[in-house]
């Protein structure tokens, strides 16, 4: 019933026939049953400039000292880019998209953020499915043609990626104004709940949506400097995989935040956002994503 409000499912079939056989499939789909196996590499890179610009904008906000958690609802629009109409070629079934929406709302409970399914666009292009990477011409073309909404709509593109270790990347809210067309999240199609990924069953979008709301990796900057910009995630030298209980890679601060959604640990291990992250999300939203007219 939560999803009675799904309005439009626009079916857009874009046939790039002349490019159909240009790129061979390089996604890591070499298992005979179609399931895929890859490390959870996230391609979201946060630069020193991004951090400085975000902190400056946030410092200019007139926020009450005891800021309570405000409620925000963001639209989520999916663009499914498939090589053909089979699941292993990226034709993600609607049931997985609905399960992903449910999981987003469950994992963001308590953060003030909720998500509303706004629609699905389906695109048939083997070339795009196989060749999307941040910054490439075809990636820009994809965004230009299919991005919908304003700063309050999270556009999620599911693709196969060229880089076989990549599970996803996101833009940051601080860069919305400079490049609204690129704004959004691009994920490996197999990572939705019930999908073909052996490691990820929905957690990739939980993580990327965190970046989309202004969070950094818990291991940002390693042991020194401002790190992820929140006080209650102890510094962490580098990303963790699996669930290395007790890992403590930096002096001081306590054990590494392996249970955090913004690490690379396993789906079962990642269960939390901290109050400090919730506060940073809230400030980032107030600074960059609170005005649905922008």
- Active-site amino acid positions: 208
Q: Minimum CB separation from ligand NAG for residue 270, in Å?
A: 22
Nearest approach, Cβ of 84 to ligand NAG (angstroms)? 4
Q: Closest residue (Cβ) to ligand NAG? A: 89
User: Residue 168 Cβ, how far from ligand NAG at the closest point, in Å?
Assistant: 19
Rounded to a whole number of angstroms, the minimum distance from the CB of residue 145 to ligand NAG is 22
Please, which residue, 26 or 245, has the CB nearer to ligand NAG?
26
CB of residue 139 to ligand NAG, shortest distance in Å: 20
| Residue among 83 and 103 whose Cβ is closer to ligand NAG | 83
DSSP secondary structure letters along the chain: -GGGG--EEEE-----GGGTTTSPP-SS--STTS-B----EE-----HHHHHHHHHHHHTS---TTPPPPPEEEEEEEEEEESSSSGGGT---HHHHHHHHHHHHHHTTTTTEEEEEEEEEEEE-HHHHHH--TT-HHHHHHHHHH--S-TTEEEEEEE--SSTTEEEEE--GGGTTT-TTT-SEEEEGGGSTTSSBSS-SSHHHHHHHHHHTT---TTTTTTSTTTTS-TTS---SS---S--TT---SSSS-S--TTBTTS---TTT--B--HHHHHHHHHHIIIIIS-TT-
Choice between 170 and 197, CB closer to ligand NAG = 197
> Is residue 122 near ligand NAG by the rule CB under 6 A?
no
With b for 16 or more beta-carbon neighbours within 10 A and e for fewer, the 21-55 pattern comes to: eebeeebbbeeeeeebebebbbbbebeeebbeebe
Q: Shortest Cβ distance from residue 147 to ligand NAG (Å)? A: 26
Mark residues 19-48: x for contact with ligand NAG by CB under 6 A, - for none. ------x----xx-----x-----------
Q: Which of 207, 264, 274 is nearest to 234 (CA)?
A: 274
The nearer residue to ligand NAG, 201 or 282, going by C-beta atoms, is: 201
| Residues in binding contact with ligand NAG, number by CB under 6 A | 9
Closer residue to ligand NAG in complex, CB, 26/177: 26
Neighbours of 83 (CB within 10 A): 23
Residue 74: strand pairing partners: 115
Q: Name the CA radius of gyration of the chain, rounded.
A: 19
Q: Give the per-residue contact string, 57-96, with ligand NAG (x = CB under 6 A; - = no).
A: --------------------------xx-x-xx-------
- Regarding 237 and contact with ligand NAG (CB under 6 A), the answer is no
Nearer to ligand NAG (CB atom), residue 37 or residue 150 = 37
Q: What does the binding site for ligand NAG look like in residue numbers (CB under 6 A)?
A: 25, 30-31, 37, 83-84, 86, 88-89
């Amino acid at each position: 019933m939560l999803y009675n409000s799904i309005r439009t499912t626009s079916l857009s079939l874009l046939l790039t026939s002349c490019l159909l056989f240009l790129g061979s499939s390089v996604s890591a789909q070499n298992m005979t049953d179609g399931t895929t196996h890859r490390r959870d590499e996230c391609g979201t890179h946060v630069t020193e400039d991004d951090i400085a610009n975000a902190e400056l904008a946030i410092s200019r906000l007139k926020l009450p000292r005891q800021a309570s958690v405000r409620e925000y609802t963001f639209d989520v629009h999916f663009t499914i880019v498939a090589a053909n109409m089979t699941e292993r070629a990226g034709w993600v079934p609607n049931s997985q998209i609905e399960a992903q929406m449910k999981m987003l709302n469950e994992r963001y409970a308590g953060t003030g953020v909720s998500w509303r399914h706004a629609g699905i666009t389906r695109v048939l292009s083997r070339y795009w499915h196989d060749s999307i990477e941040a910054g490439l011409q075809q990636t820009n073309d994809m965004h230009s043609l299919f991005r919908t909404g304003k700063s309050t709509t999270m556009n999620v593109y599911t693709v196969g990626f060229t880089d076989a270790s990549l599970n996803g990347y996101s833009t940051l809210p601080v860069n919305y104004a400079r490049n609204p067309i690129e704004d959004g999240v691009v994920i490996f199609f197999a990572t939705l709940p019930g999908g073909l990924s052996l490691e990820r069953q929905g957690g990739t979008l939980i993580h990327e949506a965190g970046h989309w709301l202004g969070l950094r990796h818990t291991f940002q900057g390693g042991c020194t400097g401002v790190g992820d910009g929140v006080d209650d995630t102890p510094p962490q030298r580098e990303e963790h995989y699996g669930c290395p209980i007790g890992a403590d890679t930096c002096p001081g601060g306590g054990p590494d935040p392996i249970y955090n959604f913004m690490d690379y640990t396993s789906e079962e291990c990642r269960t939390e956002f901290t109050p400090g992250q919730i506060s940073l999300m809230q400030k980032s939203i107030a600074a960059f994503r609170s005005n649905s007219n922008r």
